[in-house]
Amino acid sequence: MLTIDPRTTAELIQLALLAPEEDDDYLQERWHFIYLLQCRGDREVLDRSLKLTQSSILEERNLGINILGQLGVPDRTFPNECLTALLGLLEVEFDPLILRDICIALGHLDDPRSSEPQLKFCLHPDWEVRYGVVNGLSGHDDERAIAGLIGLSADVCPLVRNWATFGLGTLIEVDTPAIRSALYRRFLIEDSEDDETAEIYGEALVGLANRKDTRILSRVRQELMSDRVSKLAIQAAEALADKRLYPALLKLQTWWQPASDLEDAIAACSPNCEGNSTEETIG
């Protein structure tokens, strides 16, 4: 098993620090050792990770933060100690990539107490930090987290907008006029045919469909009848569960793959499915 390893905690930490880069974005081999340490999740791993976060060496601080974010997976250990340490680091750290990873680690901890301290970074000049904040706030349904995500859903960086829109539309079930307004703005503004923004448009579509917002019904039908149907459009159709989308979904059976996604949407929109719309026209 991956979680059983004869090497000491100190050895695993050293191996993680020495692991070569797999590509420009992630240290794949390093994360293997981080995972082993997280699964071990005992007091020694906690103490050594806390010590790493106080290092003057950026790579060591980064390693400690990454371990703390998911210490004890799958059954978390020392969550309060991890939260306290990460929130303390958020107050004193300046490096953008470290700030990003602190916010991502806080997101893994999934503690609503972390929402407010992250809000001051929503307008940080570095998009990587704002991306971290999106990860840190997503999944929380308190007003502060939602307000932060609404602002970030209009961020200048497409990646930040994308994840913020996903966070608002899919990761929470809260339905408010402010959330719908934010999602509808993305629906209207984002270009569905541009590779950089099409997914943001699709996430907005799904978010509105999750809230049964009929303003998008006509557009979803058009999407399903086009020659460029996205998986998100099919997810939106399933969420809307409206029988007026049924014929368009049936026609997709001749070419859409994977069939399982389409089958779920067809079942949801079937005229025989209780609870879907009985309206006969699309405005």
Whether the Cβ atoms of residue 38 and residue 9 lie closer than 8 Å to each other: no
Per residue of the chain (283 residues), give pLDDT as tens.
455 889 999 999 999 999 876 555 456 789 999 999 999 999 999 999 999 999 999 999 999 999 999 999 999 999 999 999 999 999 999 999 999 999 999 999 999 999 999 999 999 999 999 999 999 999 999 999 999 999 999 999 999 999 999 999 999 999 999 999 999 999 999 999 999 999 999 999 999 999 999 999 999 999 999 988 999 999 999 999 999 999 999 999 999 888 888 999 999 999 987 655 544 434 3
- 3-state DSSP assignment of residue 24: coil
* Residue appearing with tokens 């699309």: 282
How many distinct helices (H) and strands (E) make up the chain?
Answer: 16, 0
Domain locations in the chain? 1-108, 218-271
Cβ neighbours around 181 below 10 Å, total: 10
pTM, to two decimals: 0.91
Strand partners, 242: 277
Interhelix angle 127-137/96-109, rounded to 10 degrees, is: 10
Work out the burial of residue 281: count CB atoms within 10 Å of its CB; fewer than 13 is exposed, 13-18 middle, 19 or more buried.
Answer: exposed
d(CA 46, CA 78): 8
CA atoms 34, 133, 117, 149: torsion sign: negative
User: Of 166, 99, 159, whose CA–CA distance to 133 is shortest?
Assistant: 99
Q: Which tokens go with 226?
A: 């086009």
User: Of 211, 266, 208, whose CA–CA distance to 234 is shortest?
Assistant: 266
What kind of architecture, by CATH, is found in domain 1-108? Alpha Horseshoe (1.25)
